[in-house]
Homo-oligomer: A and B are copies of this chain.
Amino acid sequence: MDMIQEGTLKPVIDKELSLEEAAEGLRMMRPRGHGQDRGDAVSETTTLPTAAEIEEKLLKGPFHQWLGLKVLSVGDGTIELKATWRPEMVVNAERGYMHGGILATLVDLTADWALVSKTGRGVPTVDLRVDYHRAGMQGDLIAKGKVVKFGSTLSVAEAEILSEDGKLLASGRGVYMTASPK
């Protein structure tokens, strides 16, 4: 790659390079050992982790425990979770509305873990965008995540949060730093 031989990465940050080329530039600069892992077809085609395996990883996080998370299913670039309602989640005690921050949290973590079939674990969130569609009331929550675009440096994934009876409460997307797949 010319720009590296020149001892400069100028083109990486130029509009002369597109986003994916810039990302590719970063990827190519990784140590050999890692680069080999990345292209390893085996790692791409191995059996998906089970819901139980992902749930075990997920529940290492204290806030995930607090949310009472359960992994219902894991697919290739998808995940379905359940969160357990608790009274502290409420923003308005009289009317029982759930705090929007709980729904935002679920969008973040569900989109993040939708990437797990490719990343093997939770990854850092770059940014998060949440649309609120309907108030969450008392009751557990279903969260469905899906990868929009998986990239070697950055990925986009989305999630929907539904009430137990299937009403769409919130949905949104995040950008995640998937700089190094397993």
Contacts and interface: CB of A to CB of B under 8 A. Distances in A.
Interface stretch (A9-17, A46-54, A73-81): A9-17
A72 interface: no
12 contacts: A4-B31, A9-B180, A13-B120, A13-B121, A14-B122, A19-B124, A62-B87, A62-B88, A65-B88, A104-B130, A127-B175, A131-B148
6 tightest A-B CB contacts, nearest first: A101-B105, A18-B135, A7-B33, A9-B180, A19-B124, A15-B122
Nearest to A38: B9
Contact of A135 (B19, B64, B66): B19
Interface residues of A, number: 86
Given A21-B135, A34-B8, A104-B104, A123 B91 contact: no
Interface of A: 4, 7-10, 12-23, 25-26, 29-34, 37, 60-66, 87-95, 97, 99-102, 104-106, 108-109, 119-135, 148-149, 151, 153-154, 156, 168, 171-173, 175, 177-182
Nearest to A90: B62
Secondary structure type dominating chain A contacts? mixed
A91 B104 contact: no
Contacts of A18: 95, 97, 124, 134-135
A118 to B, nearest CB: 10
